[in-house]
Amino acid sequence: MLVLSLVSLAIASISTFIFLNVQEDVIRPCFAVTAALALLLTLCLAPWALKLTLVAIPITLERLYGGAA
């Protein structure tokens, strides 16, 4: 599972890089959709420890810096 997660993360990263560097209007949405789908697939295939870390970081930062202004 971890290998599939890393492969889909690599696809998302490459698609995002190409999306940011290509100026053609037809190709940009294709790479944006590819990057979004690959990122969603990465989150589905990621191990539980990584998912919990991704959830715990914003909660911890909110507690450290205070959520109310």
pLDDT at 68: 58
For position 28, what pLDDT does the model report? 92
Domain count, the chain: 1
pLDDT in tens, 17-64: 999 999 998 899 999 999 999 988 888 888 888 888 888 888 898 888
What per-residue confidence (pLDDT) applies to 45?
A: 85
* 3-state SS assignment for residue 46: coil
Task: State the pLDDT at residue 39.
Answer: 86
How far apart (Å, rounded) are the C-alpha atoms in residues 43 and 54?
10
Print the domain residue range for 18. 2-65
